[in-house]
Structure 1
Amino acid sequence: MRASLYEFAGGDPALLALAQAHHQRCLQDPELNHPFSHPGQHPEHVARLAAYWAQVLGGPSTYSDRCGTESGVLRMHAGNGDMSDLGRRFVACFVQAMDDADLPDDPAFRTAMREYMTWAVDRVLTHEDRDQVPPGLAVPQWDWDGPVTR
């Protein structure tokens, strides 16, 4: 049986390093800087992001247990208008952050991670109206072959 993407990446420490590196990359981007540096950002944003990615990629349910549901994630990002350029920049920062965080350089792993982030960004950016996001959505799961259906 193949390890989950979470396990293959290196578990919680690796996902925290990825979230930290990604956050730094976004702060350095001239367009992404604003949403990543505004004063209303949760003080534990990076740790929460790491917990979310860990859960999505096959790790523990820490995000759902402590932070909320997928509905909350989608509502938080909804209603911001056309964000397609920011989405592309976000994915590019994520890909670069995998190097910064020293994640495995395995081609299948890197492809699965990039495909996840592209899918996730598309999913987040499709919700224009916060009130239209259904309540109680579970955090999605992603593995080597794409989204996991439950």
Structure 2
Amino acid sequence: MASSIYAAMGGADAVRSLAQAWHRRCLADPILAHAFHAGVHPEHTDRLAAYWAEQLGGPAEYTAHLGTYAEVIAKHSGNGPHEQMDGRAVAAFTLALDDAAIPNDPDLRFQLIAWFTWATAMLNHRWSDPEDVPADLSLPQWGWEGTQGW
């Protein structure tokens, strides 16, 4: 077994391919596309890939150069419940695993889907108001045993 989920899925190229595939699926979905109606950063998928990579055991590029976990959480907080959107985001992620040719190892796929489901809930629903997000949050890591302290 690889030392990290990041390594098992194929490293930076695999994570970038997954972020691109997921984002394409989101834009093609009438419900998920709503989240992007105001536009996104021109390097959104590269930034997303760096964020995912770091959370899955890859290099700390996101927090070293692009932003903090607290900033990401605050940006996504305060939008109220949206269970249908969350479920569709997870479904799009699951399909994007094949689009991105992520290895079809059952343990790897289980961990990726469990992580994305958890991360979606944390990102969108742990704090109901962006002002409530603690400024000193560290980016949680997800490994073969899940995450600790969350």
List aligned pairs for 1:8-23, cutoff 5 A: 8-23=8-23
Equivalent-residue separation in structure 2 for 1:14 and 1:136 (angstroms): 30
Matches of 1:19 and 1:36 in 2, distance apart?
Answer: 15
Matches of 1:74 and 1:60 in 2, distance apart? 20
Mapping for residues 1-150 of structure 1, pairs under 5 Å: 2-39=2-39, 41-126=40-125, 127-149=127-149
TM-score of the pair, normalised by structure 2: 0.94
Is the contact between residue 18 and residue 97 of structure 1 (CA under 8 Å) also seen in structure 2? yes
Give 1:37 deviation, angstroms.
Answer: 4.3
Question: How far 1:125 sits from its partner (Å)?
Answer: 2.1
How large is the RMSD of aligned CA atoms in angstroms?
A: 1.5
* Contact preservation (8 Å) 1:27, 1:37: no
* Counterparts of 1:99 and 1:62, CA distance in 2: 25
Q: What does the per-residue CA deviation read over 1:51-74, in whole Å, with 9 as the maximum and x for residues that have no partner?
A: 000000000000001111110110
Q: Distance in 1 between matches of 2:59 and 2:8?
A: 14
Task: Provide Cα deviations, 1:87-132, integer angstroms capped at 9, x if missing partner.
Answer: 1111111111010000000000000000001111111122210000
Between the aligned partners of 1:113 and 1:91, the Cα distance in structure 2 is 10
2:38 and 2:21 map into 1 onto residues whose CA distance is 18
Give aligned-pair identity as a percent: 45
